[in-house]
Amino acid sequence: MDYILLIGNALIEDKADITGQYNFLASHALILDEMAENLKRYCSFTRTTKIEPSPQCLAATMAVKPNILNGIDMYRIYAPLCHNSKLTSKPTKASVTKYDPCRDHYVHAYMNLPEVQKALHANVTKLNGDTDGVVTVSVFVLTLLATKPNVAMTQCQGDPQALAEQCGPYVQRDGPKTDPSQGCCDAIKAADIACICQNIPGDVEQMLDMENLVYVAGFCGKPLDHGSHCGSYTVP
């Protein structure tokens, strides 16, 4: 019997995904051949080099960015762009013949309304500008921790809600490695991070960058032992 495995919108490997994006740009003449060649020569796009790329790779990717950020929708390169002034009071009904380039922006705009963020206890660290991703991660983590109680919630010291609210922006998946706020450190210091790491739900881990979580814990004075595990991540 033959089996077919269907995966929807999957990101299986960073290297294949990022390399494919740049190959797509080159094949559609959206970047110069020289740019594509420099990317292949200097960038390996592994998880390590993604966090700390070489100077040559950084220069190659920065040279490409203006080409893909100015006037192009990466998911629909031939489609018109959305401008904030074109957002209607309510999302337009999905239509094949009447394409709305702003259809993906309504949730983004709604989640960045001050009253919505206040109601969701999101962006408590008062980050400047839009909080694309941060709100989503914090809300989902809070929801999962609240609806799926496990050993981490019932036996580990600490407040999962405070950790999600205060530290969410610093441990979101594929986020930058940045020093956390004092509020985050206060939540970290009040928690048994080693216990939480050992019992963190798998669906929560999928939305977090465990390497950044370990970094934040160490920065806040609660370093994890070398060789121990935080979720599936092994502390170096």
Residue 135 pLDDT greater than 90, yes or no? no
- DSSP letter at 172 equals B
* Under 8 Å between Cβ of 164 and 171: no
Q: What is the pLDDT of residues 84-103, one digit of tens each?
A: 655 666 666 777 777 777 77
pTM exceeds 0.85, yes or no: no
Average pLDDT of the chain is 75
Inter-residue long-range contacts of 179-183, CB under 8 Å, 24+ positions, other chains counted: 179/219, 180/216, 180/219, 180/220, 181/125, 183/124, 183/125
Q: What is the pLDDT of residues 18-53, one digit of tens each?
A: 888 888 888 988 888 899 899 888 888 776 655 567
Share of the chain above pLDDT 70, in %: 69
Domain definitions of the chain by residue range: 14-70, 160-235
Segments in the chain forming alpha helices (H): 14-27, 33-42, 47-51, 55-69, 106-111, 114-120, 134-147, 151-155, 160-171, 182-189, 193-199, 202-205, 210-219
Residue 223 pLDDT greater than 90, yes or no? yes
The whole-number average pLDDT for the span 156-183 is 79
Out of 1.10.110.10, 1.10.3720.10, 2.30.38.10, 3.40.50.1820, the CATH code matching 160-235 is 1.10.110.10
User: What pLDDT is attached to residue 147?
Assistant: 45
